[in-house]
Each structure stands twice: as structure tokens, then as C-alpha cells.
Amino acid sequence: VVYAEDKGVTRAFRNLPGVELCHVDRLNLLQLAPGGHMGRFIIWTRPAFERLDSIWGSHNRESTQKKGWKLPQPQMLQSDLSRLINSDEIQSKVRVARPQKRVFKQKK
């Protein structure tokens, strides 16, 4: 559970096994994705989710709490890689696949 204001949240969830609490100002990547595995179920409180823009900023504006910090721009505009590779523009520039030569090992 990620919260911004502790209005009894820590006392409510402290005895539940497997539930971790984190203040939005102290977010930790190891808590959000332990072992580098994305897909953890995270419950965000509304004030915590609204506070993310002031902490991290957005693509259009800088953060108000971190001096000079701006979110990095995405490197790929088209994230569907298979669609990109199979597009007509890419396929017109790619060489035709050559047939593979089969290499046979000599038996001694």
C-alpha cells in the first residue's frame, strides 16, 4: 500500500502478513518490484497518486520537489516491435534471406 497521508493506514495494515506499507516520498524500487520482477499488486491511495506529479514531474514539466528533474522521454515511439519489423518500410530495405547451407560432420 502506497500512501501520502497516514490517517491510520499504518495501524490498519501492520498486522496483515505479506502487506508492506510505503510512504510516497520514500518509494523504493526493491519494494515496488522485488527481484526485478514487475507485476506486484500495489494499492495506491488517491493523495499518493496525485502527489507523484509533484515529486517526479511529467514529460512536459519539471518536478517541483526535485530540482531540474524531468521524466526521460521514451526512446521508441512505436513499441510494437513485431509490427515495426514487418512494416513495408523496413521490409523494403531488408535483404532476402539466403538458404542455409547444411554442414555435415564427417564420421571417422
Over residues 68-101, the pLDDT tens digits come to 777 777 777 777 888 888 889 888 888 888 888 8
pLDDT at 3: 92
Residue 2 has φ and ψ, to the nearest 5°, of -105, 125
pLDDT at 35: 78
Q: Which three cell numbers stand for residue 107?
A: 564420421
35: left (phi over 0), alpha (psi -120 to 50) or beta: left
Asked whether the predicted pLDDT for residue 42 surpasses 80, the reply is yes
Mean pLDDT over 10-25 rounds to: 89
Residues whose CB falls within 8 Å of the CB of residue 105, separated by 6 or more in sequence, listed in order: none
- Identify the DSSP state of 33: S
This prediction's pTM:
0.57
